[in-house]
Copies of this chain bind each other. A is one copy, B any other.
Amino acid sequence: MRPLLLDDDRALPADPATRSVAREVYHATRDLPLVCMHGHVDAGVLAQDRSFPDPAGLFVVPDHYLLRMLVSQGAELRDLGVAAGDGPVETDPRVIWRRFCAGWHLFRGTPTRYWLEHGLHEIFEVTVQPGEDTADELYEHIAERLAKPEFRPRALFERFGIEVLATTDSPLSTLPDHAVLREQGWGDKVVPTFRPDALLHLDRPTWTADVDQLAELTGIDTGSYAGFTDALRARRRAFVEAGAMATDHGHLATDTTPLSAAEAARVYAAARAGHIEPADAAAFAGHMLHEMARMSCEDGLVMQVHPGVLRDHDPAVHALHGPDQGFDIPVPTEFTRALRPLLESFGRDPRFRLVVFTVDETTYSRELAPLAGVYPAMRLGAPWWFLDTPDGMRRFREAVTDTAGFYNTTGFVDDTRAFLSIPARHDLARRVDAGHLARLVAEHRLGLDEALETAVDLAYNLPKESYARR
């Protein structure tokens, strides 16, 4: 049995001189409230505030980071409890939990391990590492606590110190969970985010049905391009009224070239008539990013872009198990030319805020920092997904700060589906930023007082300010 302990100095630089500064910087931020401006937690979890299910259903089955690592070493998704279109699935949570525990060594050196350790120890007071020998003991230990009222979602939300949490929502959602939360006084704590990808990609199989539903929902005829954009504006207004601060856009490419009104109308009409060329669909998606920026200038919603991920790399996995099962893989992403039309139009407009994320870290020093370091509308989001790691965050600061400084970044954005990982992720980001700032202090490139101030800005003030509706 291996003990599970969290050292106070974890994830701080090893060099003693730097570490002592880092500790001081980290302490200035460790107890600040959590500002969670982008993530994928289901608002229903908080609206209903039911107890979480068993340990496997909480930690294993819904977490694609964890599933993909087990799959990479030969596990089958069905044996980990993931629904499959073609046959039986493991339903015993104890069996699933044991399979996870038996693969614990696979996570050595990964952020998943780091987040899980934090959650297990800090939230559930677990003191031994998962393993074949401890699986059943841990299961009981966690299950027992999950049954208690202080482990229900809202209690944990308060315990975590979350000040605000933004969910990500379908543009066709009427946001009923958010309405419930608002009625119960949680309207400022949980806000929706407008994510219209499905409507902007003409070639999605659901597109026609979605646009029909858009018409029904808004009472606006979406038979023409003009009606379509009016209906989108209406839905954005509904989100603003429900408290939304931002939109989010998950396009494969970053192209933002506007079409002429006539060309947009032609492509749209053809799509409504069932004729969609791939090149037209791609051009329309790029055009709509440009139009979303225009609408952000009008309604003040901060625009987030999360580009460059090829979803469902293995289509057979998608066919069997659906999306978000760990088979999403980054591709090289280009920003300088692709964002140029959008930035030309709106990059210096004081009504506009654009937050850009990437999983292609080669763009940090070459494109993203130079762009964010001059266009006032643009901020760099936190290192995303495969880069939301101790070394990934360090490389981000080292590559970006030279040209963009700290104040053209948003500070930390957790972007998690795993509610229980929220405090671990914020805590880790604060530690890594503390380590970076401490190195600047130790190398006499920054005063300690400035480092302390900057750390607080990165942890708290910059996320709030970057995502303030304009």
Query: Which residues of A come within 8 Å of B, CB atoms?
Result: 2, 6-7, 9-18, 68-69, 71-74, 105-111, 113-114, 310, 313-317, 326-332, 334, 336-337, 340, 343-344, 347-348, 350, 359-362, 365-367, 369-376, 378, 386-387, 389-392, 395, 397-399, 401-408, 439-440, 442-447, 449-450, 453-454
Contact = CB atoms under 8 A, between A and B. Distances in A.
Given A373-B69, A402-B386, A109 B12 contact: no
- Nearest 7 pairs of A and B residues by beta carbon: A14-B442, A7-B444, A10-B444, A389-B402, A109-B401, A68-B374, A362-B362
A350 B109 CA distance: 26
Interface centre among A361, A403, A404 (most CB of B within 10 A): A403
B443 A407 contact: no
A231 B18 CA distance: 59
A365 B348 contact: no
A387 B365 contact: yes
24 contacts: A6-B444, A9-B444, A10-B443, A11-B444, A73-B407, A105-B453, A108-B406, A108-B440, A109-B397, A109-B401, A109-B440, A110-B401, A110-B405, A113-B445, A313-B343, A314-B344, A314-B375, A316-B344, A330-B366, A331-B366, A361-B365, A361-B366, A390-B402, A391-B398
A121 to B, nearest CB: 12
B315 A402 contact: no
Given A365-B386, A376-B73, A11 B110 contact: no
B392 A365 contact: yes
Total copies of the chain: 3
A72 B375 contact: yes
Nearest to A340: B313
A418 B401 CA distance: 21
Contacts of A386: 365-366, 369-370, 402-403
B344 A72 contact: no
B403 A367 contact: no
Contacts of A402: 109-111, 386-387, 389-392
A76 B372 CA distance: 16
A367 B359 CA distance: 10
A439 to B, nearest CB: 6
